[in-house]
Homo-oligomer: A and B are copies of this chain.
Amino acid sequence: MVGKTIPQHRKLYEILRKHILDGVYKEGDLLPSENELCRLYGMTRPTVRQSLSTLANDGYIRKHQGKGSIVHNLPREIGILSISGTTSAVGDRNLKTRIIKKPVLMQWPVNFMFSLTDLEKESGCIYMERLRLLEDVPIFYDISYIANINLARITARQFENRSLFQILRDNYHIEIKGGDQRIKAITANSKINRFLKLKKDQPVLHLERRLETNNPALFLYSSIFCNTDKYSIFGRF
């Protein structure tokens, strides 16, 4: 029932993306030509072109008419601007998660940062707070809100060092489709200051994000406080 066939263009996308990330194709390299990829992977050109188009959109390559597709695998730093989750952005390697408040079911806050649908308001809100550490240095303080729509037993699950996205995907078949966010520079309150181990009056990046999922009624909200002293937030467009 869950077993869906993965389209060919997606397969090739994943293969090429992995090769780029693994360094098989390096920054500035030309990818094999479209016709060559057709031969190599037994696909037709429109299919290959769809893979390359997605790669270009995601910033992994840049296409040049008459020349080819050039790898553009910049160091991504903390790329949470264009990529869905903190985990996939940084790369799971050195990012640890510490749960500050375990997920609980509660009412939505008054004057919530985004406007909510009636269904969301009725369903109530699953709330949690997590601290994300990069090489044992606290970088993100992450407050998450999800409407309690078809998420049975979620408050009982194990969140430690596991991505929220991963849990939603594995247990509830929920995928992130896109979203939008607002960014501000603020002075943190004492609680954020304590958790992020900030110096006095150190400015903090504040992100308010609304993520859309494959369930049109279900959104993920998060309020993220980010220490940008050592690391930058990085994005491509």
A residues engaging B (CB < 8 A)? 46, 53, 57, 59, 62, 64, 74, 77, 81-84, 177-187, 201-206, 208, 212, 216, 226, 228, 232-237
Contact = CB atoms under 8 A, between A and B. Distances in A.
Contacts of A180: 59, 74, 234-237
Contacts of A232: 182-184, 208
A60 to B, nearest CB: 12
A47 to B, nearest CB: 12
Contacts of A64: 216
A204 B203 contact: yes
A178 B63 CA distance: 12
Contacts of A46: 46
A10 B46 CA distance: 18
Nearest to A216: B64
Contacts of A77: 182
A48 to B, nearest CB: 15
B236 A179 contact: yes
Contact of A184 (B62, B74, B228): B228
Nearest to A210: B74
B201 A184 contact: no
